[in-house]
Amino acid sequence: MSKKIKRRDFMRTSAVAGLALATPKGKPQGFPTIFTQSAVKPLVISSANGNRYKNGGDMTAVQRAFTMITQGADVLDAVIAGVNIVELDPLDDSVGYGGLPNAEGIVQLDSSCMHGPKKRAGAVGALEGVRTPSLVARAVMDNTDHHLIVGKGAQDFARNMGFKIEDDLNTVHSRQIWLEWKRRTDPAHYLNPKERAQVWYREGMKMVEEGLIDRDHFYGTINCDGINSKGEICGVTTTSGLAWKIPGRLGDSPILGAGLYVDGAVGAAGSTGRGEANLYNLCSFVIVEEMRRGAHPKDAGMEVLKRIKNNTIEKRLLNSKGNPNFGINFYILNAKGEYAGVTMYERSSFAICNEGGPQTLTCDVFLPGKPND
């Protein structure tokens, strides 16, 4: 009859055997091997202008952000440093310095940022006189108990934080474009509000078709999100908003859950395009929640585009096919490092930077054709 083995002796023997099996060749017996989950590959994703403008330097926004992340910088510091390049570049008239102004010729800027690991956020809206609203949004996050400060209060806060306040953020180009718009629309001064809105939109689209304004810059924004090898996710969105907007108008960019949403355990989503559609549907939040339930970034993005289409029923917002007559894009990243860029219509692109370098890619399309078909 064999000798009965005590349970604790069996467990001890099994553990030693397992350790021996786990020890690679060449390692001393008994030296523990630690098995860890493979690290996430760092990635930065942004709207297309994140790989277009350099402001006289040698890096685009996604390059700068990715480089900083791989050098160990905080992810939010990195993506904000990236979008600062675009905010400060006068050649991009959709954000920051030289962004297309409001109906009165004044540049008003919006921005939001979210820090996944810290579960903190900050935002500013209708901010005047500061070229880098993303940094002011970060200051709101770091120095206050609030998430959003707007208008004169946002400017006063920026001044108190030591930011330089300028009288005018227009460039020669942005002012010339605004004056051209005023020239075209001033004869319509006494139209009723409905007709005025139609003239405003029609003349703006004519300027797009004539090449005076980049189509993306008419709604203009940059969103940039990143993840490091630890799986830490952060994001930022910054914009000069809708061209020729009513003074004080806020779009989706400074609103958490619309222009930007980050959950450090799940992923991030941001947007460019028609802000009002994004605000009504809180699309960035919905995208992250879809990913929480297991959806791939592309599928989560397509789901919100479907929601926007179904919720757009006003005739003035529909084209001849009964579809939305506007464009909207989403840039999406999950905690695994998977990503997607999705768009309502064709002709849209987005940017990434990973170990293969910066790339501009084509967005996945929800509807065929163009907004004005």
| Residue-level pLDDT at 30 | 38
DSSP assignment of 127-188: E-S-S-HHHHHHHHHHH-S-SEEEHHHHHHHHHHTT----S----HHHHHHHHHHHHHHGGG
| Residue-level pLDDT at 181 | 82
- In the chain (373 residues long), the average pLDDT of successive 10-residue segments reads 44 39 38 46 97 96 98 98 97 91 94 98 98 98 98 98 96 88 67 61 66 59 96 97 90 97 98 95 98 98 98 94 94 98 94 98 95 82
Query: Are the C-beta atoms of 101 and 179 separated by less than 8 Å?
Result: no
Q: Distance between CA 369 and CA 266 in Å, rounded?
A: 33
| Residue-level pLDDT at 198 | 65
Query: How long a stretch of residues is the chain?
Result: 373
Give the count of alpha carbons within 13 A of 337, CB side only: 14
Query: Are the C-beta atoms of 261 and 286 separated by less than 8 Å?
Result: no
Query: Are the C-beta atoms of 48 and 333 separated by less than 8 Å?
Result: no
| Residue-level pLDDT at 1 | 43
- Residues designated as active site: 221
| Residue-level pLDDT at 183 | 78
Query: Are the C-beta atoms of 159 and 134 separated by less than 8 Å?
Result: no
Measured at the alpha carbon of residue 313, what is the angle toward residues 308 and 318, in degrees to the nearest 5?
85
Residues ≥6 apart with Cβ < 8 Å to 106: 128, 247
Residues ≥6 apart with Cβ < 8 Å to 329: 47, 271, 272, 273, 341, 342, 343, 344, 348, 350, 363
- C-alpha torsion angle, residues 92, 97, 102, 106 (rounded to 10): -150
